[in-house]
Amino acid sequence: MLDDSLKTQLQQYMGLLRQPLRLIASLDDSSASQDMRGLLDDIVAAGGGKITLDTSGDDARKPSFVIAREGQDHGVRFAGLPLGHEFESLVLALLWTGGHPPKVAQDVIDSITAIDGKYSFDVYMSLTCHNCPDVVQALALMAILNPKISTTVIEGGTFQQEVEQRQVMAVPMVFQGGEMFDSGRMSLEQIVAKLDTGAVAREAEKIKAKDAFDVLVVGGGPAGAAAAIYAARKGIRTGVAAERFGGQVLDTMAIENFISVQHTEGPKLAAALEAHVREYEVDIMNLQRAAKLVPAGADGLVEVQLENGASLKSKTVILSTGARWRQMNVPGEDEYRNKGVAYCPHCDGPLFKGKRVAVIGGGNSGVEAA
Ligand SMILES: Cc1cc2nc3c(=O)[nH]c(=O)nc-3n(C[C@H](O)[C@H](O)[C@H](O)COP(=O)(O)OP(=O)(O)OC[C@H]3O[C@@H](n4cnc5c(N)ncnc54)[C@H](O)[C@@H]3O)c2cc1C
């Protein structure tokens, strides 16, 4: 199933497993099941004795498989083949289930393990969607860390009938307990905050207690990251408040005009930006949307009011809030967002296969998309 290069990579990664794993597969005699069986055999072979395959699963979604720790049944389920952009999600799910630690801040891990109440997520993805892996990996990790959370990752192309019934017209799309939960790119922190209703208030309290900054950057894209690094290098007290650290580059997989870097992927560049900023003493406040800017009063400090009710003060404020998708402002645009109005042809295109679509925009992106 996998080519030799992927098999070698997989074998190297599986060397990091700390605990034995069991793959519990639900298969039938379809060609999709044969392909899945091939993939599972490759994973078992790469596991060097640490991974076993059990084909006695009887889930309604076929083909599918669960990755469980030996002796357990609970784990992330993949329905359809997690290849393409999702191969990394598969590898990470294997590693995390096998005890390899995720690269996630300890306070986020603590919030996930503390989530009380049962949650059952279905996340629909397509193999060409570059926004999907973040959401898939976030929900997979949550299910691995907290046994009260279950996650099924569904490849929309394999389960088209289900996709039509649930009116999935954009990926990633997430259902919880059978109800629509959210769609589009989401970070682990955003999903956790959505479940942990006290998190926003706790974060607001933390922010209220902060001293004034010398420089406060609003926006965490490449411009905001550069501004923060330059300020912090002068040894002055610097903060970044960003709705989504990384900015627009998170939405693209191919960047080839960043001179000295021949090719990189947006999420990789965003992670590198964050790592670079964190080399300095910069207070990064992610998932914080600024709502209002109040000019300096008698104390000489500019105030930035946040949507969560807290506010930050700074001698200087740098606004680097970048750009966002342009709206057409036509009737129905908001109501039909992700229900027929899509913004990412690479992600959502496969869901409209064989259908008549209109591409709005005549620039190179529009033509490429068409
Ligand atoms: C699909 C796609 C592909 C692209 N490909 C390329 C490419 O190949 N090469 C290239 O050079 N450029 C490319 N670009 C453009 C490039 O990403 C942008 O030029 C660049 O990201 C702009 O950086 P920025 O920091 O100014 O703003 P942005 O990246 O837009 O960042 C804005 C930041 O401000 C935050 N923000 C916004 N409003 C608020 C608020 N009220 N409160 C708090 N925070 C806020 C956002 O969350 C984000 O962190 C691409 C863009 C897209 C969407």
Q: How much is the average pLDDT of 145-165?
A: 95
Show Cβ contacts of residue 78 under 8 Å, excluding neighbours closer than 6 positions: 64, 65, 67, 90, 93, 152, 153, 155
Q: Are residues 158 and 257 in the same domain?
A: no
Q: How much is the average pLDDT of 6-29?
A: 96
| pLDDT at position 195 over 80 | yes
Model pLDDT for residues 296-320, shown as the tens digit of each residue: 999 999 999 999 999 999 999 999 9
Q: Which residue has a Cα nearest atom 21 of ligand 1? A: 248
Q: Which residue has a Cα nearest atom 41 of ligand 1? A: 290
Question: pLDDT value at position 343?
Answer: 79
Q: Are residues 167 and 219 in the same domain?
A: no
Q: Are residues 171 and 204 in the same domain?
A: no
Lowest mean pLDDT among 176-180, 225-229, 324-328: 324-328
Expressed in angstroms and rounded, the spacing between residue 160 Cα and the centre of ligand 1 is: 33
Q: Are residues 164 and 58 in the same domain?
A: yes
Q: Which contacts qualify for 147-151: CB closer than 8 Å, 24 or more apart?
A: 147/74, 148/115, 148/116, 148/117, 148/118, 148/119, 149/112, 149/115, 149/118, 149/119, 149/120, 149/121, 150/74, 150/77, 150/119, 150/120, 150/121, 151/76, 151/77, 151/121, 151/123
Number of domains present in the structure of the chain: 2
Q: How much is the average pLDDT of 134-141?
A: 97
Instruction: Give yes or no for a cis peptide into 147 (omega within 30° of 0).
Output: no
Q: Are residues 227 and 119 in the same domain?
A: no
Q: How confident is the model at residue 87 (pLDDT cuts 50, 70, 90)?
A: very high
Model pLDDT for residues 25-75, shown as the tens digit of each residue: 999 999 999 999 999 999 999 999 999 999 999 999 999 999 999 999 899
Indicate the top mutation candidate among 249, 277, 314 to test ligand 1's pocket, ranked by most ligand atoms within 8 A of CB: 249
Q: Are residues 180 and 209 in the same domain?
A: no
Q: Which residue has a Cα nearest atom 22 of ligand 1? A: 322
Q: Which residue has a Cα nearest atom 52 of ligand 1? A: 248
Expressed in angstroms and rounded, the spacing between residue 243 Cα and the centre of ligand 1 is: 11
Ligand 1: atom nearest CA of 248 is 29
Q: Which residues line ligand 1 (CB under 6 A)?
A: 218-224, 241-245, 247-249, 251-252, 255, 257, 289-290, 320-323
Look up residue 234 and give its amino acid.
K
Classify 132 as helix, strand or coil. Answer: helix
Average pLDDT, the chain: 93
Q: Are residues 205 and 190 in the same domain?
A: no
Closest CA to 221 of 245, 254, 185: 245
Q: Are residues 220 and 153 in the same domain?
A: no
| pLDDT at position 370 over 80 | no
Which range is most confident: 122-131, 342-351, 360-369? 122-131
Q: Are residues 120 and 248 in the same domain?
A: no
Q: How confident is the model at residue 342 (pLDDT cuts 50, 70, 90)?
A: confident
Expressed in angstroms and rounded, the spacing between residue 258 Cα and the centre of ligand 1 is: 14
Question: pLDDT value at position 294?
Answer: 97
Indicate the top mutation candidate among 230, 245, 248 to test ligand 1's pocket, ranked by most ligand atoms within 8 A of CB: 248
| pLDDT at position 369 over 80 | no
Question: pLDDT value at position 279?
Answer: 96
Ligand 1: atom nearest CA of 242 is 44
Within a domain: 370: no
Question: pLDDT value at position 176?
Answer: 97
Q: In terms of residue numbers, what domain contains 238? A: 200-319
| pLDDT at position 109 over 90 | yes
Q: How much is the average pLDDT of 247-261?
A: 86
Give CA–CA dist 252/114, Å, rounded. Answer: 33
Indicate the top mutation candidate among 258, 264, 321, 348 to test ligand 1's pocket, ranked by most ligand atoms within 8 A of CB: 321
Q: Are residues 189 and 204 in the same domain?
A: no
Q: Are residues 184 and 206 in the same domain?
A: no
Q: Which residue has a Cα nearest atom 37 of ligand 1? A: 321
Percent of the chain surpassing pLDDT 90:
73
Expressed in angstroms and rounded, the spacing between residue 28 Cα and the centre of ligand 1 is: 45
Last residue of a domain, one of 287, 304, 319: 319
Q: How confident is the model at residue 22 (pLDDT cuts 50, 70, 90)?
A: very high
Question: pLDDT value at position 275?
Answer: 94
Give CA–CA dist 64/239, Å, rounded. Answer: 45
Within a domain: 363: no
Q: Are residues 154 and 286 in the same domain?
A: no
Question: pLDDT value at position 255?
Answer: 85
Q: How confident is the model at residue 122 (pLDDT cuts 50, 70, 90)?
A: very high
Give CA–CA dist 247/103, Å, rounded. Answer: 20
Model pLDDT for residues 314-326, shown as the tens digit of each residue: 999 999 999 887 8
Within a domain: 30: yes
Ligand 1: atom nearest CA of 254 is 8
Q: How much is the average pLDDT of 124-139?
A: 93
Q: Which residue has a Cα nearest atom 9 of ligand 1? A: 255
Query: Cα-Cα-Cα-Cα dihedral of 194, 197, 203, 209, to 10°?
Result: 160
Ligand 1: atom nearest CA of 251 is 1
Within a domain: 269: yes
Question: pLDDT value at position 202?
Answer: 85
Closest CA to 140 of 126, 154, 128: 154
Expressed in angstroms and rounded, the spacing between residue 236 Cα and the centre of ligand 1 is: 25
Within a domain: 344: no
Lowest mean pLDDT among 190-194, 229-233, 323-327: 323-327
CATH number at residue 281: 3.50.50.60
Q: Which residue has a Cα nearest atom 6 of ligand 1? A: 255
Within a domain: 339: no
Expressed in angstroms and rounded, the spacing between residue 221 Cα and the centre of ligand 1 is: 5
Q: Which residue has a Cα nearest atom 49 of ligand 1? A: 220
CATH number at residue 8: 3.40.30.80
Question: pLDDT value at position 251?
Answer: 76
Percent of the chain surpassing pLDDT 70:
99
Classify 54 as helix, strand or coil. Answer: strand
| pLDDT at position 350 over 80 | no
Q: How much is the average pLDDT of 219-232?
A: 98
